[in-house]
Amino acid sequence: MYNHRIRRPSLLDKVCTPEQAARLIQDGMTVGMSGFTRAGEAKAVPLAMAERAMVDPFQITLMTGASLGNDIDRRLTEAGILARRLPFQVDPVLRAAINRGEVMFVDQHLSETVELLRSRQMGPIDVAIVEAAAIREDGGIIPTTSVGNSATFAILAEKVIVEINLSQPMELEGLHDVYIPTRRPHREPIPVTSCESRVGLPYIPIEPTKIAAIVFSERSDSPSANEPPDAETAAIAGHLIEFFRHEVKQGRLGMGLAPLQAGIGTIANAVLHGLIDSPFRDLRMYSEVLQDSTIELFDAGKLSFASGSSITLGPRMTERFLSNLASYKDRIVLRPQEISNHPEVIRRLGIIGINTALEFDIYGNVNSTHVNGTQMMNGIGGSGDFARNAYMSIFVARSTAKSHAISSVVPMVTHVDHNEHDVDVLVTEMGLADLRGLAPRERARVIIERCVHPLYRDAALDYAARAARLGGHTPHLLQEAFDWHLRRMRTGTMLDPT
């Protein structure tokens, strides 16, 4: 009955229950699992693993593409399975375990994981668990809503468990473009020269004898958790659109701008949403995750093509996307994250990268990950792949958080994910700071004037002025560089009552 989902008859006897498949995972193993930004993760087998660990405890190293949906990271954490986890996560329960030091989390650039595996600097992968729409006659695996690291996990793993998701339409076939770089020292240029380039196979090529188990599931991807645009995110989008108009006027960009990348989350999604009402046209995306805004831009006639590694939509957009899949399919390609985030391609295409900052400082250093320099939020994700190598690197944030108790612009960030060298433009709802070609003292002036919330402006100016009087290329007062953070920890707010 599943002949169109398992097209290689000899594999039919590999079909088993998730519980049976989960038994292939043994204590101490390294497991590579599909899933990127809550899209296309294996679902039935990891949940069966969590069940089993309740009675038969075991621990593994779990690698994925990026974050998982369906509370899988929570369930695996609660079951005590995760000894080590990489390269990204967004789950509150796992996050707490990481911050307690119970799960060793390796926060990695998303393009790098498979490079490290391939060169045996990490690994080896014992078992890969990959969600699929179908298995081809030749054993090739057709992914679902993400490619992520699935291809290299499956190619390098000793055994592969395929989880066929019957809720995903067969029409996904053809959406993917799986290209694996050739081996060093004979590695050839990656032939992607435009967002549209198709350079690989529409499936993951593996040796079919490695497929050790096939299970079925019907569980959907978790919907995107993005919140709808609001007045602040609309203001951020507005500043950015005004800036792009200026760049077009100066002749530095055309009306199609440059290939756009946008990080996950509410703000980056809202910024792209804002382009619907902009004058720009024939836009292209070369991004990691395609979000609601991608579909909206297609439908508004603004977007010509979108390349990503996954597609993560809210409930309404999921329905629209799936019911019109044929009409979107020739305008979308999903690639391995190594290719969507590849330094080579990012520099070649000249991408405009738009990512979200947790906080940034008056000199333009960005913290994307650590609250008070200590507590992990999610991880750096792909933002470092893009920021270092992009044509233009933009970071967005609301100027304050927690009802103004936290300023997102601080004298010195408590953790640096993106340094001054990699940050071209900063935007809050207050305004936009164009830092290109500026020295640190000049950057401080522009950032404080344009981006800081008025409640914090005087304090920021005061810090910068007092530091500058003592001298230095990047003037700081080390004894009080973190005073705002310490006040927040002590009193609940960064605001100075005096």
Q: By C-alpha distance, which of 14, 5, 334 is closest to 137?
A: 5
Q: How far is the CB of 164 from a copy of itself (least distance, A)?
A: 32
State which residue, 190 or 289, has the beta carbon closest to a copy of itself.
190
Q: ω before 229 within 30° of 0 (cis)?
A: no
State which residue, 8 or 84, has the beta carbon closest to a copy of itself.
84
State which residue, 51 or 449, has the beta carbon closest to a copy of itself.
449
Bridge partners, 16 (sequence order): none
Angle at 12 between CA 8 and CA 17, to 5 degrees: 135
Task: Kindly state the helix (H) or strand (E) to which residue 345 belongs, with its residue range.
Answer: helix 343-349
Contact letters for a copy of itself, residues 109-148 (x by CB under 8 A)? x-----xx--xxxx--------------------------
Q: For residue 14, state whether it binds a copy of itself (rule: CB under 8 A).
A: no
Q: How far is the CB of 260 from a copy of itself (least distance, A)?
A: 13
Chain residues 45-104 in contact with a copy of itself, contact rule CB under 8 A: 84, 98-101, 104
Longest dimension (CA), the chain: 77
Q: How far is the CB of 477 from a copy of itself (least distance, A)?
A: 9
Contact letters for a copy of itself, residues 345-364 (x by CB under 8 A)? -xxxxx--------------
257 φ/ψ angles, rounded to the nearest 5 degrees: 55, -135
Other C-beta atoms closer than 10 Å to the C-beta of 443 total 23
Q: How far is the CB of 245 from a copy of itself (least distance, A)?
A: 16
Q: How far is the CB of 383 from a copy of itself (least distance, A)?
A: 10
Chain residues 182-221 in contact with a copy of itself, contact rule CB under 8 A: 184-191, 193-194
Taking CB under 8 A as the criterion, the residue among 93, 225, 401, 468 binding a copy of itself is 468
Task: Kindly state the helix (H) or strand (E) to which residue 284 belongs, with its residue range.
Answer: strand 283-286
Q: Name, in order, each residue with C-beta under 8 angstroms of 266's C-beta and a sequence gap of 6 or more.
A: 226, 227, 229, 233
State which residue, 4 or 469, has the beta carbon closest to a copy of itself.
469
Taking CB under 8 A as the criterion, the residue among 36, 105, 286, 328 binding a copy of itself is 105
324 among annotated binding-site residues: no
Q: For residue 436, state whether it binds a copy of itself (rule: CB under 8 A).
A: yes
State which residue, 80 or 350, has the beta carbon closest to a copy of itself.
350
Taking CB under 8 A as the criterion, the residue among 60, 164, 236, 438 binding a copy of itself is 438
Task: Kindly state the helix (H) or strand (E) to which residue 216 belongs, with its residue range.
Answer: strand 211-217
| Pair 175, 332: CB distance under 8 Å | yes
CA 430, CA 336: separation in Å to the nearest integer?
A: 37
Q: How far is the CB of 491 from a copy of itself (least distance, A)?
A: 14
Q: For residue 441, state whether it binds a copy of itself (rule: CB under 8 A).
A: yes
**DSSP 3-state of 373:** coil
Q: For residue 442, state whether it binds a copy of itself (rule: CB under 8 A).
A: yes
Q: For residue 485, state whether it binds a copy of itself (rule: CB under 8 A).
A: yes
Taking CB under 8 A as the criterion, the residue among 108, 146, 269, 278 binding a copy of itself is 108
- What DSSP designation does 109 have? -
- Residue 97 zone, left/alpha/beta (φ > 0; ψ -120 to 50; rest): alpha
Bridge partners, 60 (sequence order): 82
* Beta-sheet pairing, 127-132 with 159-165: parallel
Q: For residue 335, state whether it binds a copy of itself (rule: CB under 8 A).
A: no
State which residue, 38 or 95, has the beta carbon closest to a copy of itself.
95
CA 431, CA 433: separation in Å to the nearest integer?
A: 7
| Pair 138, 324: CB distance under 8 Å | no
**Residues forming the active site:** 288
Let me know if 51 is exposed, middle or buried by CB neighbors in 10 A (0-12, 13-18, 19+). middle
Contact letters for a copy of itself, residues 367-406 (x by CB under 8 A)? ---x-xxxxx---x---x---xx-xx--------------
Determine the interface stretch with a copy of itself among 170-178, 230-238, 308-316, 468-476 (rule: CB under 8 A).
468-476
Q: For residue 249, state whether it binds a copy of itself (rule: CB under 8 A).
A: no
Q: For residue 4, state whether it binds a copy of itself (rule: CB under 8 A).
A: no
Q: How far is the CB of 417 from a copy of itself (least distance, A)?
A: 6
382 among annotated binding-site residues: yes
* Beta-sheet pairing, 406-407 with 400-401: antiparallel
Q: Tokens standing for 206?
A: 């593996």
Taking CB under 8 A as the criterion, the residue among 51, 173, 344, 449 binding a copy of itself is 344
CA 211, CA 141: separation in Å to the nearest integer?
A: 10
Task: Kindly state the helix (H) or strand (E) to which residue 355 belongs, with its residue range.
Answer: strand 352-356
Q: Tokens standing for 83?
A: 């000894």
Q: How far is the CB of 145 from a copy of itself (least distance, A)?
A: 27
| Pair 91, 58: CB distance under 8 Å | no
Q: How many residues bind a copy of itself (CB under 8 A)?
A: 84
Let me know if 146 is exposed, middle or buried by CB neighbors in 10 A (0-12, 13-18, 19+). buried
State which residue, 223 or 350, has the beta carbon closest to a copy of itself.
350
Chain residues 403-422 in contact with a copy of itself, contact rule CB under 8 A: 412, 414-417, 419-422
Angle at 88 between CA 360 and CA 199, to 5 degrees: 105
State which residue, 296 or 424, has the beta carbon closest to a copy of itself.
424
State which residue, 43 or 370, has the beta carbon closest to a copy of itself.
370
Q: By C-alpha distance, which of 349, 382, 347, 35 is closest to 196?
A: 349
Q: How far is the CB of 217 from a copy of itself (least distance, A)?
A: 30
Q: Which residues are annotated as a binding site for CoA?
A: 378, 382, 402
Q: Which residues are annotated as a binding site?
A: 378, 382, 402
